[in-house]
C-alpha cells in the first residue's frame, strides 16, 4: 500500500504541474478569454496604469509594466488544433506532404516558457516529428517549437509531453495570436508533413491527458518493485514512478503509461507474481519514447486470445514494467489489478 501511495502522490503532483490542477483550470478559463483591448499581450488589463488613471509619475511605470508582463506570461493559455492531411501545403521539389487518410487532434498549454502538448492521431503511421510552426492557413512557415524530434513507437496512438521555449517572443506570440501558428505531425511516408492544423484559443481549460485512454486494469510502478538478478543488467530506478492502465480484449491489449523521473525505451507486460521475475508476454512498445514525452497510449494487437483472457481474469499474475537506457533490465514495475479494487 505504501508503494502505491508514494507512487500515486508523486505522479499526481508532477503531472498536476504540467497538465494543470482543478484550481488552475478554473482560473485559466477567465484568463484565456480574449481581451477586449487592442493589446497584443493577454492579461494587460490587470496591469497598474492600464485602468484609465494616469500613474503619479513615470518612474514607477517601468517596474510595474514589467511585473504585469511577467504575470501575463504566467497565466496558462490553452490552444487546440484539428489536424488533417488536406491542410498540408506541398512545395515543388520538396518531400511529399498530406496523408489523405490521416487526422489528429492537438492540445497545447502555454505558461511562462513552458509548452505542454498532447496529440491523438489515426490513419497515419507512428509520427516521426511533431512541431509548432509559425504560418497562416495555406502557407508554410518555420518551426518555432520542436515538440518531439524522434519517432514514436509503432504501437503508440496518443502522447503528451512538455518542452521549454528558449525565445520568450515565441511564447508571447503563441499567447497573443495562436491562429498565426499551426501544429503538424510528420511520418516516414510523408516526411514533409502528414497532417496539419491551425491553432485556436480555448475559452475553457481542457485536461491535456484526456486524449490518452484509460483501462479496466491498473498498476502503480516504482523502482523498488523491480527484482534484481545476479549478474544481470541493472534494474530499479529509485527516482522513477509511473502509472499504467490496460484494457485486455479479444486479441489486443490497449495501454496507457504516464511517468516521472525516467525515459522509457521499452514497455512490457510480464507474467509473474509480486517479488518474482517472469517472461515478457505482451511487448507494448519496443522502441524508445521521445525524450520530451511523459505519457503515451496505444494498442498491442495480434495476441493469443487465451493470453488476453488470462490477463483480464487474473491481472495480479502479471506486471507492467518500463525499461530505460540506465536500467535496461527494468526501471520501474508494478502488479496489475482491477480498477474496481481501488477503494478496497
Positive or negative, the CA dihedral 275, 281, 286, 291 is negative
In angstroms, the Cα distances linking 99 to 95, 157, 187, 194, 198 are 12, 16, 9, 5, 17
Residue 208 in this model has a pLDDT that exceeds 50: yes
d(CA 26, CA 14): 19
Lowest pLDDT segment from 35-49, 230-244, 274-288 = 35-49
Residue 32 in this model has a pLDDT that exceeds 50: no
Share of the chain above pLDDT 90, in %: 73
Are 2-10+213-341 and 72-209 in the same CATH fold? Answer: yes
Beta-carbon count within 10 A of 193 CB: 27
Tell me the pLDDT band of 38, cut-offs 50, 70 and 90: very low
Q: What is the pLDDT of residues 276-314, one digit of tens each?
A: 999 999 999 999 999 999 999 999 999 999 999 999 999
Residue 330 in this model has a pLDDT that exceeds 80: yes
149 phi and psi, to 5 degrees?
-125, 10
| Predicted structure pTM score | 0.80
Q: What is the pLDDT of residues 92-142, one digit of tens each?
A: 999 999 999 999 999 999 999 999 999 999 999 999 999 999 999 999 999
Domain ranges of the chain: 2-10+213-341, 72-209
Which pLDDT belongs to residue 288?
98
Domain 2-10+213-341 classification at class level: mainly beta
Lowest pLDDT segment from 180-184, 231-235, 318-322 = 231-235
The CA R_g of the chain, rounded to the nearest whole Å, is 23
CATH of 72-209, one of 3.20.20.70, 3.40.1670.10, 2.60.40.200, 3.40.50.1370: 2.60.40.200
Q: What is the pLDDT of residues 153-188, one digit of tens each?
A: 999 999 999 999 999 999 999 999 999 999 999 999
Q: Where are the alpha helices (DSSP H) in 50-154?
A: 61-74
Tell me the pLDDT band of 72, cut-offs 50, 70 and 90: low
Which pLDDT belongs to residue 214?
84
Match 516504482 to its residue by C-alpha cell: 222
Amino acid at each position: 500500500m505504501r508503494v502505491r501511495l508514494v507512487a500515486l502522490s508523486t505522479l499526481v503532483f508532477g503531472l498536476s504541474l504540467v497538465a494543470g490542477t482543478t484550481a488552475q483550470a478554473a482560473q485559466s478559463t477567465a484568463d484565456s478569454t480574449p481581451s477586449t483591448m487592442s493589446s497584443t499581450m493577454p492579461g494587460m488589463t490587470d496591469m497598474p496604469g492600464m485602468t484609465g488613471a494616469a500613474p503619479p509619475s513615470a518612474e514607477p511605470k517601468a517596474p510595474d509594466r514589467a511585473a504585469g508582463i511577467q504575470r501575463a506570461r504566467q497565466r496558462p493559455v490553452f490552444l487546440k488544433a484539428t489536424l488533417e492531411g488536406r491542410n498540408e501545403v506541398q512545395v515543388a521539389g520538396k518531400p511529399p506532404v498530406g496523408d489523405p487518410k490521416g487526422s489528429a487532434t492537438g492540445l497545447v498549454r502555454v505558461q511562462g516558457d513552458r509548452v505542454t502538448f498532447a496529440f491523438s492521431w489515426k490513419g497515419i503511421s507512428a509520427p516521426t516529428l511533431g512541431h509548432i510552426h509559425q504560418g497562416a492557413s495555406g502557407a508554410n512557415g518555420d518551426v518555432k517549437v520542436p515538440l518531439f524530434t524522434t519517432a514514436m513507437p509503432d504501437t503508440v496512438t496518443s502522447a503528451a509531453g512538455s518542452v521549454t521555449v528558449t525565445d520568450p517572443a515565441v511564447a508571447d506570440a503563441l499567447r497573443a495570436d495562436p491562429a498565426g501558428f499551426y501544429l503538424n505531425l510528420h511520418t516516414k511516408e510523408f516526411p514533409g508533413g502528414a497532417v496539419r492544423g491551425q491553432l485556436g484559443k480555448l475559452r475553457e481549460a481542457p485536461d491535456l491527458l484526456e486524449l490518452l485512454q484509460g483501462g479496466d486494469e491498473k498498476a502503480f510502478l516504482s523502482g523498488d518493485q523491480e527484482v534484481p538478478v545476479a549478474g544481470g543488467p541493472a534494474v530499479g530506478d529509485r527516482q522513477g514512478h509511473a502509472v499504467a492502465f490496460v484494457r485486455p480484449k479479444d486479441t489486443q491489449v490497449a495501454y496507457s503509461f504516464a511517468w516521472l523521473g525516467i525515459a522509457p525505451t521499452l514497455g512490457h507486460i510480464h507474467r509473474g507474481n509480486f517479488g518474482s521475475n517472469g517472461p515478457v508476454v505482451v511487448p507494448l512498445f519496443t522502441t524508445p519514447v521521445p525524450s520530451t514525452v511523459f505519457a503515451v497510449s496505444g494498442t498491442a494487437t495480434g495476441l493469443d486470445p487465451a493470453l488476453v483472457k488470462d490477463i483480464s481474469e487474473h491481472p495480479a499474475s502479471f506486471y507492467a514494467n518500463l525499461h530505460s537506457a540506465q536500467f535496461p533490465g527494468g526501471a520501474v514495475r508494478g502488479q496489475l489489478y482491477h480498477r474496481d479494487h481501488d477503494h478496497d
